[in-house]
Structure 1
Amino acid sequence: MNLFGADPIPLHTIQDVEQSIPNIILWAAPAMFLFVLIEYLIAYSQSRKYYEKKETIGSILVGLGNVTIGVLIKTLLLYVFIVIYNLIPWRMEFYWWTFVPCYIIFDFCSYWAHNVSHRLRFFWATHVAHHSGEHYNLTVSFRLSWVQYIKMIFFLPVAFIGFHPIIIFITNQIAVLFQFWVHTEYIRKMPRFIEYIFATPSNHRVHHGCQEKYINKNYGATFIIWDRIFKTYQPEEEQAVYGITHNIDHKHDPVHINFHEYADMIRDVRTATSLREKLFFIFGNPSSIARFKAERNAVHAKGAKKRKAREDSLRSPSS
């Protein structure tokens, strides 16, 4: 059995290749919505505020939009991966067992895509939709940005290693499905060896927490071991507070959920006083940008207060 040296995939067969990719997420969708309903009913019966009407509507609409966009650009993405597959001489044959190494490498790339998405505003804008929910429940897994596909660049190494495009597409779907179950308050701590290796609800609640010690922690999608290796791991020590620094107003509006950060970015760039500042507002660390804006606003407020005091003194009658 030869692993490498597979024949190229003729581009004119792309439709046949696409049709041969199982639509695992579509198959799983009924079960996912069933679990959402069960979780909601349990929370309702226990009077737990795990769901909020407008936010839940927003999560579902964001998810439906993401799936629609994924369907529309699936052929384009497949084309890119087939072109890469055909370019390299070490193409792997289509063997099901190659899914295992593909998944591990894919998850490693996912860790870095996720890490960068929290550290560069340009990519944070493609991810903030997922974190803008103030309640933690299974529908949060639906909040995947409509523009997240630009992060495909982080997964190109998987293609250049030589995995078959169908294996890559299957891997991506299973990785997305894995993320579904970790978005819940009802599963607390798992057995220690599972918590040590895998992303779990406990580990991922930390990632969604906006407390200082929880920020920029636990990026692992399936394997939390990457966080342990790269020193970004944080255990769950207290109940997480969910949301972002400045929570959004239109919680049910999928367009606002997806693009409010871009609107803020454009406003910041317009107020920038130099090219360096403009680039900082686009590519800077979101936390650093927030601190910079807070300090700038404080300076402006102090200046305005001084000007008002000076104007008041000029208007007051002389003694």
Structure 2
Amino acid sequence: MPNLPDVVLWSIPAFVLLTVVEMISVRLHPDENAAGYEAKDAATSVGMGLGSLAFDFLWKIPIVAVYTAVHELTPLRVPVLWWTVPLMLLAQDFFYYWSHRGHHVIRILWACHVVHHSSRRFNLTTALRQPWTSLTVWPFYVPLVAAGVHPAALAFCSSANLVYQFWIHTERIDRMPRWFEYVFNTPSHHRVHHASQGGYLDRNFGGILIVWDRLFGSFVAETVRPVYGLTKNINTFNPVKVATHEYVAIVKDVRAAAGWRERAGRVFRGPGWQPTPAPAPEAAEETVVV
């Protein structure tokens, strides 16, 4: 198949330039209502991004092996042509939506993705705050490989999706034209996704396109100003703790669980799931002796 460019690598200069421009913009024209920048937070986000590059390289070894095996077994083949690449990008974005949604509603998957939501700031460095345990993502894309998409083409589409999402992590852009907001993911839509208010939780999962959220009932428009972070913030800038804190919490909850049903719920139910408390025994009716 044709060699496809490393989209992330080629985009690094743009990442750096846009981040510097945003920092200067915040300094020259501060918005007292915006989350803005904080040095330790930004440094943590950059550190998480650099760490994710190393860990992703490690995880790629078994993932590429699985994808290659699936691609060899399927008789289907999707050629890399000028008109198939947009279709592959569309299909990858569809499966990204379900992967992203799954990583919000299943706690063991959330333990990976929570890293990206752990900052109380929302700026271009937040886009770099990536997990170190992305081994949980690959199963969602097996259908694409089984349909004949080459693993290298899938990697290209995933990288393009990731690069697109960089620019939507900002408060410096208010709204885009209405037609653009209807079809594509934008800073306004993604601010909702990173918010911790109840009405904004678990909304706007799209990567490049927001139409999936409109189709599957997970879209919410930005109305009130978002409050960023987690419903229970972790109050640390230690990259190791940021990367692992939810796994630690799961282990603690599983150890304290009353039985196997609760243990399974602590791992596979939603992040905020709590077991139903046992009903209190009814007070015995007093016998009145006459």
Same fold (TM over 0.5): yes
Match of 2:285 in 1: none
Structure 2 residue runs without a partner (length 5+): 281-290
Residue 78 of structure 1: how far off its partner (Å): 2.9
What per-residue deviation string (whole Å, max 9, x for no partner) do you get for residues 176-234 of structure 1?
Answer: 10110110001111111111111110011111111111011111111111111111110
Q: Structure 1 residues 21, 149: closer, same or farther in 2, change over 3 A?
A: farther
Matches within 5 A, 1:60-99: 60-99=46-85
In structure 2, distance between residues paired with 1:68 and 1:98 = 31
Q: Which has the higher helix share?
A: 1
What letter is aligned with 1:79?
Answer: A
Aligned to 1:188: 174
Query: Aligned in 2, Cα 1:275/1:76: closer, same or farther, shift over 3 Å?
Result: closer
Q: 1:79 to 1:97 in 2, by over 3 A?
A: farther
Does residue 23 (structure 1) correspond to residue 6 (structure 2)? The answer is yes
Aligned-residue offset at 1:243: 0.4
State the match for 1:159 in structure 2: 145
Q: Assess if the C-alpha contact under 8 Å between 2:119 and 2:228 holds in 1.
A: yes
Given residue 264 of structure 2, which amino acid in structure 1 is its aligned partner? L
Q: What secondary structure sits across from 2:196 in the alignment?
A: coil
SS at match of 2:89: helix
* Equivalent runs, 1:1-319 vs 2, <5 Å: 20-48=3-31, 49-251=35-237, 253-289=238-274
Partner in structure 1 of residue 286 of structure 2: none
TM-score (norm: length of structure 1): 0.82
Instruction: Find the residue that maps to 2:14 and give its secondary structure.
Output: helix
1:196 alignment partner AA: Y
For residue 82 of structure 1, report the CA deviation from its aligned partner.
2.3
Deviations 1:119-156 (A, max 9, x none): 11011101000001101001111111111232110111
Specify the alignment match of 1:306 in structure 2: none
Counterpart CA distance in 1 for 2:142 and 2:197 is 33
In 2, the alpha carbon distance for the partners of 1:281 and 1:149 equals: 20
How many residues align structurally?
276
Q: CA deviation at 1:80?
A: 2.5
For residue 38 of structure 2, what is the amino acid of its counterpart?
E
Residue 59 of structure 1 and its aligned partner are, at CA, apart by 0.4
Between stretches 132-141 and 42-51, larger displacement belongs to 42-51
Gaps in structure 1 of 5+ consecutive residues:
1-8, 10-16, 300-319
Counterpart-to-counterpart distance in 2, 1:276 and 1:92: 43
Residue identity in the other structure for 2:252: R
Q: CA deviation at 1:21?
A: 4.4
Q: Could you report, residue by residue, the CA deviation over 1:291-315 in whole angstroms, capped at 9, with x for unpaired residues?
A: x59x89xx9xxxxxxxxxxxxxxxx
Measure the CA separation in 2 of the matches of 1:91 and 1:84.
Answer: 12
Q: Matched residues in 1 for 2:119 and 2:169: separation?
A: 11
Task: Give me the whole-angstrom Cα distance separating, in 2, the residues matched to 1:201 and 1:175.
Answer: 15
For 2:17 and 2:120, the matched residues in 1 are separated by 22
AA matched with 1:205:
R
Using the TM superposition, give the Cα deviation of residue 170 of structure 1 relative to its aligned residue in structure 2, in angstroms: 0.9
Q: What CA distance in whole angstroms lies between the structure 2 residues aligned with 1:136 and 1:129?
A: 13
Backbone CA RMSD of aligned residues = 2.0
Q: Distance in 1 between matches of 2:41 and 2:99?
A: 26
Larger Rg: 1
**Structure 1 position 77, deviation (Å):** 3.0
Identity %: 35
| Comparing 176-185 and 82-91, the one that deviates more | 82-91
Contact 2:206–2:212, Cα closer than 8 Å, also in 1: yes
Instruction: Say if 2:56 and 2:134, in contact at 8 Å, map to a contact too.
Output: no
Q: CA deviation at 1:276?
A: 0.9
